[in-house]
Amino acid sequence: MIRVWGLPFSLLASAIVIAVLISNPRSSLASSNSLELSFLDVGQGDSTLLRDGNGFDVLIDGGKTSAGPTVVAYLRYQGIDDIDVMVASHAHADHIGGLIDVLEMNDIPVLSVLYNGYPGTTATWNSFGTAVADEGLGLVPAQFPGSYTWGLMTAYVLHPESGLSNPDQNDVSVVLLISHDNVDFLFTGDIGSAIEATVVARGTPVVAEVLKVGHHGSKFSSSSSFLSAVGPDEAIILVGNNPYGHPTIETMDRLLAAGARIYRTDQNGTVLVQSNGITYRGNIHIPRLPNILADYRKRSHFYTTPNANFDA
């Protein structure tokens, strides 16, 4: 019998569909050994908050500059007292723009900032760099091969390598495999299929239960061979209204063919996942917050599924 968080799956399945978080939608970590990931609905951009039960907080990307107030409000709403690690996956504005507001917060300090080692050239990048310096910090390259211990998490840097000459920013996105005991999460930034093949060819572990889908579901990412190597049970696409057709039909078809369940922030809102290090559960959770988050969809519910590893 499949057991999820100590309860028989058959009992969970019989109780499905239900629970609306109205009075206090803020999620809470189940124990000091828990890890919670919030894949934020920031429109067409990436932003993910990782929190462990001992108060270690990691923020990967922050969406566009216009998403900054949303990210800031979410951090305050979750009761974050500091950001231990900020990761800028690459220099594009839809990943670093919102981080500027986070760095400028007076009540939530940022303690360290990692980036891909390849500076950008845009005004947004310059503003980001200024905000990092104003925080009294320097930009620290996170490059392959490298690893970090972040509270209860181990983060393996699978890409990029150092010493590249004038690379495309998407191609040098920081790729992270985050391990929480036996549960793994793969963050791929905006890499395309050629870089996916490079990462797999290195022979480093890429298998993960949960995949943050590359480049918002672009048809040039998430190749069939890459998905076969990762073997994700869940695929989370951070995406909003855009002129590029993201996520594309081709990518959606490949994810489905790989057997992954798909969640999209443009349709499902902010997606929460909690891990206890053995298995994990998830819910789609849109907090009912003040006007600063008025663009968030006003709905919140738990979901359960026949998938053994992704149940509420």
**How many structural domains does the chain have?**
1
SS in 3 state form for 21-68? CCCCCCCCCCCCCCEEEEECCCCCCCCEEEEECCCCEEEECCCCHHHH
Mean pLDDT of 30-37: 86
Work out the average pLDDT over 110-118. Answer: 98
The region of weakest confidence among 42-51, 86-95, 234-243, 284-293 is 284-293
- Which whole number is the average pLDDT over 138-161? 98
Q: Is 299 helix (H, G, I), strand (E, B) or coil?
A: coil
- Over residues 242-252, mean pLDDT: 95
Q: Is the confidence at residue 22, as pLDDT, over 50?
A: no
As a whole number of angstroms, the distance between CA 157 and CA 27 comes to 29
Mean pLDDT, residues 18-44: 66
Question: Which pLDDT score is estimated for 30?
Answer: 59
What's the full length of the chain, in residues? 312
At 300-311, the pLDDT tens digits run: 332 223 233 333
Q: How high is the pLDDT of residue 147?
A: 98
3-state secondary structure of 17: coil
If one compares 232 and 289, the residue with the highest pLDDT of the two is: 232
Q: What percentage of the chain has pLDDT greater than the value 70?
A: 81
- The domain that holds 217 is classified in CATH as 3.60.15.10
Is 95 a residue whose pLDDT tops 60?
yes
How large is the average pLDDT for residues 128-146?
A: 98
In-domain check, residue 179: yes
Residue 182 inside a domain? The answer is: yes
Decide if 8 is inside a domain.
no
Per-residue pLDDT band for 141 (boundaries 50, 70, 90) equals very high
Average pLDDT, the chain: 84
Q: Is residue 87 in some structural domain?
A: yes
The answer to whether residue 75 sits within a structural domain is yes
Poorest-pLDDT segment among 102-111, 195-204, 275-284: 275-284
Question: Per residue, what are the HEC states of 101-122?
Answer: HHHCCCCCCECCEEECCCCCCC
Residue 38: domain span = 30-285
The answer to whether position 290 is within a domain reads no
pLDDT of residue 292: 34
Distance CA 152, CA 302 (A): 25
CB 59 within 8 A of CB 159: no
Residue 305 domain-assigned (yes or no): no
Domain presence at residue 148: yes
Q: Please check the confidence at residue 202 and state whether its pLDDT lies above 50.
A: yes
The whole-number pLDDT of residue 282 equals 75
Determine the Cα–Cα distance for residues 27 and 76; give it in Å rounded to an integer. Answer: 13
The two structure tokens encoding residue 131: 């905000």
> What is the reported pLDDT for 262?
94
Mean pLDDT across 73-98: 97
